[in-house]
Structure 1
Amino acid sequence: MDSSGDPEGPRLPRGDDPPGNARETSRQLSREQLFVLISAASINLGSMMCYSILGPFFPKEAEKKGVSNTVTGMIFGCYALFDLLASLVFGKYLVQIGAKFMFVAGMFVSGGVTILFGVLDQVPDGPIFIAMCFLVRVADAVSFAAAITASFSILVKAFPNNVATVLGSLEIFSGLGLVLGPPLGGFLYQSFGYEMPFILLGCIVLLMVPLNMYILPNYDSDPGKHSFWKLITLPKVALIAFVINSLSSCFGFLDPTLSLFVLEKFNLPAGYVGLVFLGLALSYSISSPLFGLLSDKIPHLRKWFLVWGNIITAVCYMLLGPIPVLHIKSQLWLLVLILVLNGVSAGMSIIPTIPEILSCAYENGFEEGLSTVGLVSGLSSAMWSVGAFIGPTLGGFLYEKIGFEWAAAVQGLWALTSGLTMGLFYLWEHSRRRRSKLQNILGTEEERTSLLPNEI
């Protein structure tokens, strides 16, 4: 599609324009973009609420069913593992399956399995309950991987010139889902029992299905000839994937460790622990649209956002405890302040990643179509899932062995390494481009010099 009347409308290369005059196209694309935003916002909000709603009460219910803490952790962790595998598959076959069908089908299955999770308390205790928990959790991960991968692809297709701005703005709904999920789930659990949080949320997701079937545009494209392997073996893409891993791991590290540290260190009531997490979620949600806008308006800032965002994140994790060698007393106000700063630095680093991977792919011969967008969105989701699996697992282990202060510092080293490596790569890339320009200038001057005698 091409819109001569709407500079921000989607543009498909090689003559894929729909029939009709420019004015009709502009009006149609403006409406499609609004519908795409509504659909993407619904899946961001729904997925994050479904992901976070388990926290306040499921471990307690699982314990009643004879499930150990280790197995409960595996039930949580299997979500990221299967989200990783499913994202790679769906990103590869996005064009063959169809982005709209993948989005709607993923949302439909997720709503159904969320409701099923609410009736698991009726399942017999022991192995049967554990097996059903794993089965439903895996189905939820696969279904949301389909919906999120399709959502990213449709967004990039609908907003090719404002990818970072749109993705950053939609992170408001992701953060809102993370903020609303635990308190809403806890309130419904206390008021109506185990079933109600899952049944209500599942029904809300299912009600979004017919809405998205009606409003979501259908983008068609031809299958691409490139693969995930070719994409991930590009040095710049591989380093950005490492950045996504480190940032996702930093977020995941806090899930099993921060609440325990706050309860032990500051003796807060359990109900107030969730408020500590608000500093991170709200600052990330509020800052992400700003960094998205800057990334689109001033593209050369993306590299600095990636580098400095990771370095600031590393400093934040050194100060979370803080690390004992700094001899700084741990205080609640300092912890909340660091979490707020961490949310800002995370937005600075995360938002530019997809535009940077896309631009690198196009520079290296990937076709500008839905197939490449599917590969990029699938790769991004998969790399995020790797960190989401490693972060809590490694974080829980390090917390038991060396304590929260040192564990957070070790986690910060990952972000520091990815930030410095990314910075060195950008310096090398800048130096290589300067040499290439210099050689082109010298070559042009030599051609002019050799032509002058012949002209005389």
Structure 2
Amino acid sequence: MGRNDYPPQSSPSEENLETSPLLFKSSPNNGGATDEASSSQTTSSLSSSYEDSSPSPDEPEPVVPSPPPLSRSQVCLLVCLSASSLLAGCCTVIQAPFFTHEAHLRGLSSAASGAVFSCFALAQMVAFPAMGWLAPRLGVTRLYTLSLLVAGVTTVVFGMLTYIEGPAPFLGWCLTVRAAEAVGTAAAQTAARTIIINQFPRRMNSAMSLVEGMIGAGLCLGPAVGGAMYALGGYGAPFYTLGVLLLGTAAASLILMPTVTDRSTRTTEKDDSRSSYLEMLILVLSTADNWLIFAALLVAAMNWTAMDPSMEPYMHAVLGIQPAELSLFFLGSFAGYALSSPLWGRLSDHINNTFLLVAACLAPTALGVLLIPPSPLLGLRPSRLLLGLGMVLREPFQLGAYLPLLPLMVRRSTARGLRSDVRGQALVSAVFGAAYSLGNVLGPVGGGLVTDRWGYPTLATWLGGVTVVLCVAMALRGAVYHSTRRTAAPYVEI
């Protein structure tokens, strides 16, 4: 795993500065830095011994002490990451209330406007692996700042597309700018996750829960703020405002984000024979547990992106629910998502076997998915009560299943031999983002096809059934892990 600090090295090379783990520069004025350096040296030696011994995937991780309080530098780092995550969430959905209407005014079909939404997830899926390769070479914090600049500029440009009148040019520019915006957000997410993995090795789930909770808050606020600003200032107002905020966040990150450097944890001959990016990727993809995690990411993404777009037409037809009323259900469920995020983070930081935690969260998630239409298997009639109950169950518990997946992927990949430096951490972050983006690409298309052919309740039945199967698989894997690990004392999972 990444470490908060490492013992100083003598004259690190430029290559080591670009390809080795991140750390904060220690100084007498950096609150808690001395204690963190001491604890990090301990965890660094544990990591060194752990990697050299090449344990089997089911061997337990070393016992580590309770995490120390956050330093001032770490708090500033979380502030920067949280602000950008909030804006990234808004960036994804801010145009949802009005873009289809604007596209229709220019003679574009609903399918064409839908392609603008879909190209975002597709471009992210393609960009994530590239960002994992680029992050250690460009520098993770440098990539983070540049990605915010790209996202801010492309968001402003997207607002200027209102001056393009022809349908074909308008669609072409929308696809191009939206794809560039997706590349920027993919780079930001890769860099942010890599920084979290590296700088919060024993608080990874808690830090990740804060960032993911802010993304959820952005998804809640984005449509509401975008619709209100569109009504007040027209098409460009939401994009100009959000773009300026992203650019301001990029500038603020240069001031607020603590100075970080990349240093080599060890200067041994082993560092001279670093694995190539392809070799590390093969190692990650050859880890069986990671494929179980990929399946969980796909199911999580599709439970959201396959069901939500088709929900309004179905609920309007069977219950007479108008879009404004349905938005209240979404707002309530996303509020549960954001509020439960810190709780899941703290819980998963103190649970040894997160396979079982994921399984425990997938069970109520499946029930929530089945209750929303509801599924014909339940023999219940559609109602607002079941809709609300299903969404309230789905959002928080699916988040509880999602949050431990990245730390779990890091831990299982490291156990298989992936080096615990910034190159490996960036790679895992990129693969994680690509797998989730694949679910975002397949969800709307697959959900629409199933709904058109067999109906919305059938879609919920299929997704609920797949979630149950995944729950059983995670529970079995957790049972195997529990029976084979050898622990001398409880430890905090990272």
TM-score normalised by length of structure 2: 0.82
Distance 1:275 1:221 in 2: 49
1:381 corresponding residue in structure 2:
433
Match of 1:26 among 25, 29, 32: 32
Q: Helix, strand or coil: the match of 1:208? A: helix
1:10 corresponding residue in structure 2:
4
Aligned pair in 2 of structure 1 residues 366, 58: CA closer, same or farther (>3 Å)?
same
How far did 1:31 drift? 2.4
2:119 corresponding residue in structure 1:
78
Aligned pair in 2 of structure 1 residues 285, 19: CA closer, same or farther (>3 Å)?
closer
Distance 1:385 1:20 in 2: 37
2:221 corresponding residue in structure 1:
180
Q: Helix, strand or coil: the match of 1:227? A: helix
Match of 2:280 among 216, 224, 227: 227
Aligned pair in 2 of structure 1 residues 316, 18: CA closer, same or farther (>3 Å)?
closer
Q: Helix, strand or coil: the match of 2:306? A: helix
Q: Name the amino acid aligned to 2:293.
A: I
Contact 2:371/2:389, CA 8 A, preserved across alignment: no
- In the alignment, does 2:387 pair up with 1:335? yes
Match of 2:143 among 102, 105, 110: 102
Equivalent runs, 1:55-454 vs 2, <5 Å: 55-216=96-257, 217-221=259-263, 225=275, 226-300=279-353, 302-433=354-485
Distance 1:19 1:148 in 2: 23
Distance 1:292 1:219 in 2: 27
Higher helix share: 1
Question: How much identity, in percent, do the aligned residues show?
Answer: 27
**Structure 1: runs of 5+ lacking an equivalent:** 3-8, 438-456
How far did 1:13 drift? 7.8
Distance 1:178 1:11 in 2: 34
1:450 corresponding residue in structure 2:
none
| Cα displacement string for residues 169-225 of structure 1 (whole angstroms, at most 9, x for unaligned residues) | 223211210111101111111121111111111111111111011222333156952
Distance 2:292 2:203 in 1: 23
Q: Name the amino acid aligned to 2:327.
A: G
How far did 1:294 drift? 1.1
Contact 1:107/1:206, CA 8 A, preserved across alignment: yes
Structure possessing the higher relative contact order (Cα contacts under 8 Å, 6 or more residues apart):
2
| Cα displacement string for residues 207-266 of structure 1 (whole angstroms, at most 9, x for unaligned residues) | 111101122233315695252221021001111111111101111113311122222222
Distance 1:182 1:94 in 2: 31
Contact 2:283/2:413, CA 8 A, preserved across alignment: no
Aligned residues: CA RMSD: 2.5
Q: Name the amino acid aligned to 1:26.
A: G
| Cα displacement string for residues 139-170 of structure 1 (whole angstroms, at most 9, x for unaligned residues) | 01000000111011112222110000111122
Contact 1:111/1:202, CA 8 A, preserved across alignment: yes
Equivalent runs, 1:21-60 vs 2, <5 Å: 26-27=32-33, 30-60=71-101
Q: Name the amino acid aligned to 1:203.
A: V
| Cα displacement string for residues 42-78 of structure 1 (whole angstroms, at most 9, x for unaligned residues) | 1210111010111100011111112111121111111
Distance 1:20 1:270 in 2: 53
Q: Helix, strand or coil: the match of 1:219? A: strand
Contact 1:248/1:387, CA 8 A, preserved across alignment: yes
Distance 1:106 1:421 in 2: 37
Q: Name the amino acid aligned to 1:415.
A: T
Greater displacement, 124-133 / 425-434 = 425-434
Distance 1:20 1:167 in 2: 24
Q: Helix, strand or coil: the match of 2:374? A: coil
| Cα displacement string for residues 262-309 of structure 1 (whole angstroms, at most 9, x for unaligned residues) | 222222333222111123211111112111101112232x12121122
1:6 corresponding residue in structure 2:
none
Q: Name the amino acid aligned to 1:79.
A: F
